[in-house]
A and B are shown apart, each in its own frame.
Chain A
Amino acid sequence: MNWTAIWLTFKLASLTAGILLVVGLPIAYWLTFSKWRWKFIVESVVALPLVLPPTVLGFYILVAIGPHSPVGRLYTDMVGHPLPFTFEGLLLASVLYSLPFAVQPFAAAFDQVDRRLIEASWTLGVSNVVTFFKLIVPLSLAGLLTGVVLSFAHTLGEFGVVLMVGGNIEGETRTISIDIYDEVQALNYAGAAETALLLLAVSYGVLLLVYAMNRKVWAVWPQK
């Protein structure tokens, strides 16, 4: 088994889930509580990675961070090397690709928090930010955990985006799924089977955890 690829993939998935926890919370909060009438535009943008082919998403990210874009130039000037085909570039792409897997469970959990509790908190003189951490987060724990775990699991298995943005560089951007693909290309089915089984076991374990933890907040199936 390619332990370098496995280690890299878990590092990528953990960092992605961690970043999404930080970035996803304010987005989900805003999506849940904003009364802006055009909010659905942002909601649709966040959900886009759910339906877009990973190659399309990867292509746009590649162009956006490439040496010809302002963002890419700025990054190159600051860090000294371009963003595409590096671990950092891959991480950025993963965060965007898994955004709905974090934001949607977060928002669903926030939505289930009784508005009257939040209002009660406000009348007790507690600011919006403190209300968020003292009241909303403890009441949404299951949903937050679901979002983190799902974005972790989703990143484990990504393929198209990795190939587009990261390429296939050993120790830098070669993830488990790319490694499996390489093994199959090389007709090494036994090696592919081992790695595939590992990925299957981990993904199933992670989903088991989510479903066992909470069946109410968010599910792949429609809510009953």
Chain B
Amino acid sequence: MAAEMIIDMTKTFAGRTPIQARIRYAVEASTVLILFGPSGSGKTTVLRSVAGLEWPEDGIIQFLSRTWLNTRSGVRVSPQDRQIGYMPQDYALFPTYSVAGNIGYGLGALPSHDRSKRIAEVVELFQLQGFETAKPRELSGGQQQRVALARAIAPRPQLLLLDEPLSALDAPTRFQLRAELRTLLKQLALPSIIVTHDWAEALTLGDVMAVMGEGQVHQVGKPHEVFSRPADADVARIVGVETVVQGRVIENANGLATVAVNGVKLKGLSSDAIGTAVYVCIRAEDVVVEQAGSGMTSARNHLMGRVSEIAPQGVMVQVTIDCGFPLTATITRGAMEDLCLVPGASVIAAIKAGAVHLVPRSAG
């Protein structure tokens, strides 16, 4: 049997749409599953059920060879016995304990010497030296996040569960910690499940992604595939980024980076160094479609292409343009008629540099 995670559960909260999740994926040393969706979609409930903090009324949760929940055969493994590391959204650091006390809290079974050794090890890994005796409230948001993560991994869990790990931080810290978290997860070689509603986090951190909306799992797949090929309109609406393609930074001048995507050059805002592999993410509503041969605009990117597909979506139309890579644009029905768009028509797609989002991806 392949090493895998099976989640197949139904959980109902009174007066709410039942949460029905069916996710199954292969687990390797450091596989990261992203539970992606808007608030209220049930992603946190799924994570909490995996942690053993919610009890689905029906279903199976199985991690590798261990069954944690099977309502039919009455298996209910307590959170204490699951060997997990769990980090809730607000960190839930123990206010009466110091940083070292928090980190060592789950190490009660170790002899005192091993315990101190492990605390020192984890403190160093998370660069918390000098803060050992500080209380959580004396720390900055970023430091608190590191302590919470350190506490979760100190007892050497088999699976790491992170609920919106970066959402409580301000934007610059979040950006920096996103990259650090990715490195850390790979370094720990620890499978994890991360709940997020931020697509940049999903792309940066995820190996597998499950898109949730209104209590249902809509699609499970590799993050960039889910973004660029949503299974249905619901997924497209939830993820909100229609074009995700791989590229590489080839030039960078004062934060205005030039990225090559299949030989096409695009300008986007990024401080990533030359040579960085990135995902280029463009929302369909940020793409302006012009007739070929029209004049100058302020947009930095003008891509020649041909219309490959036209899909009506209510009053809007989703146009896919092949400009070296498939680019999706959302325009009104009226605009489509004025531009005489038909499959095969030559057009220019204009995108402002600020709408070209570059998310670093690992080489692997």
A, B: real partners: yes
Q: Return the chain A residue nearest B91 by Cβ.
A: A120
Question: Per-position contact with A for B77-107: 1 when CB-CB < 8 Å, else 0?
Answer: 0111111111010101011100000000110
Check: A52 CB closer than 8 A to any chain B CB.
no
Q: Which of B85, B90, B94 contacts A123 (CB 8 A)?
A: B85
Residues of chain B at interface, number, CB under 8 A: 26
Instruction: Report the contact-size class of chain A (Cβ under 8 Å from the partner).
Output: 10 to 19
Check: B53 CB closer than 8 A to any chain A CB.
yes
Check: A187 CB closer than 8 A to any chain B CB.
no
Query: Considering the chains assembled together, what is the distance between the CA atoms of A139 and B155 in angstroms?
Result: 23
Tell me whether A120 and B95 are in contact (CB under 8 A): no
Question: Per-position contact with A for B17-50: 1 when CB-CB < 8 Å, else 0?
Answer: 0000000000000000000000000000000000
Check: B267 CB closer than 8 A to any chain A CB.
no
Q: Which of B78, B92, B161 contacts A117 (CB 8 A)?
A: B92
B164: shortest Cβ distance to chain A, in Å?
Answer: 13
Check: B151 CB closer than 8 A to any chain A CB.
yes
Check: B295 CB closer than 8 A to any chain A CB.
no
Tell me whether A119 and B96 are in contact (CB under 8 A): no
Tell me whether A120 and B78 are in contact (CB under 8 A): no
> Which stretch (A25-33, A39-47, A127-135, A176-184) binds chain B?
A127-135
Query: Considering the chains assembled together, what is the distance between the CA atoms of A184 and B83 in angstroms?
Result: 68
Query: Considering the chains assembled together, what is the distance between the CA atoms of A123 and B81 in angstroms?
Result: 8
Tell me whether A123 and B96 are in contact (CB under 8 A): no
Tell me whether A116 and B88 are in contact (CB under 8 A): yes
Check: B111 CB closer than 8 A to any chain A CB.
no
Check: A121 CB closer than 8 A to any chain B CB.
yes
Which chain A residues numbered 103 to 140 have a C-beta less than 8 Å away from chain B? 114, 116-117, 119-127, 130, 134-135, 138-139
Check: B364 CB closer than 8 A to any chain A CB.
no
Q: Return the chain B residue nearest A121 by Cβ.
A: B105
**Residues of the B chain whose Cβ atoms lie less than 8 Å from the Cβ of A122:** 52-53, 78-80
Q: Which of A122, A123, A130, A138 has the most CB of B within 10 A?
A: A123
**Residues of the B chain whose Cβ atoms lie less than 8 Å from the Cβ of A127:** 80
Q: Which of A117, A125, A135, A138 has the most CB of B within 10 A?
A: A125
**Residues of the B chain whose Cβ atoms lie less than 8 Å from the Cβ of A138:** 96
Tell me whether A130 and B88 are in contact (CB under 8 A): no
Tell me whether B105 and A123 are in contact (CB under 8 A): no
A196: shortest Cβ distance to chain B, in Å?
Answer: 42
Given known pairs A126-B105, A126-B108, the reply for A120 and B92 (CB within 8 Å) is yes
**Residues of the B chain whose Cβ atoms lie less than 8 Å from the Cβ of A135:** 94, 96
Given known pairs A116-B88, A116-B90, the reply for A125 and B106 (CB within 8 Å) is yes
Tell me whether A125 and B155 are in contact (CB under 8 A): yes
Given known pairs A124-B155, A125-B155, A139-B95, the reply for A134 and B105 (CB within 8 Å) is yes
Query: Considering the chains assembled together, what is the distance between the CA atoms of A121 and B85 in angstroms?
Result: 10
Tell me whether A125 and B94 are in contact (CB under 8 A): no
B275: shortest Cβ distance to chain A, in Å?
Answer: 40
**Residues of the A chain whose Cβ atoms lie less than 8 Å from the Cβ of B95:** 117, 139
- Other A-B contacts than A117-B94, A120-B151, A139-B96, 7 sampled, CB-CB below 8 A, are A116-B92, A117-B92, A120-B86, A120-B88, A122-B79, A124-B106, A125-B109
Query: Which A positions have Cβ atoms within 8 angstroms of B?
Result: 114, 116-117, 119-127, 130, 134-135, 138-139
Interface CB pairs A-B, < 8 A, 8 = A116-B90, A117-B92, A122-B80, A123-B52, A123-B82, A123-B161, A124-B106, A125-B155
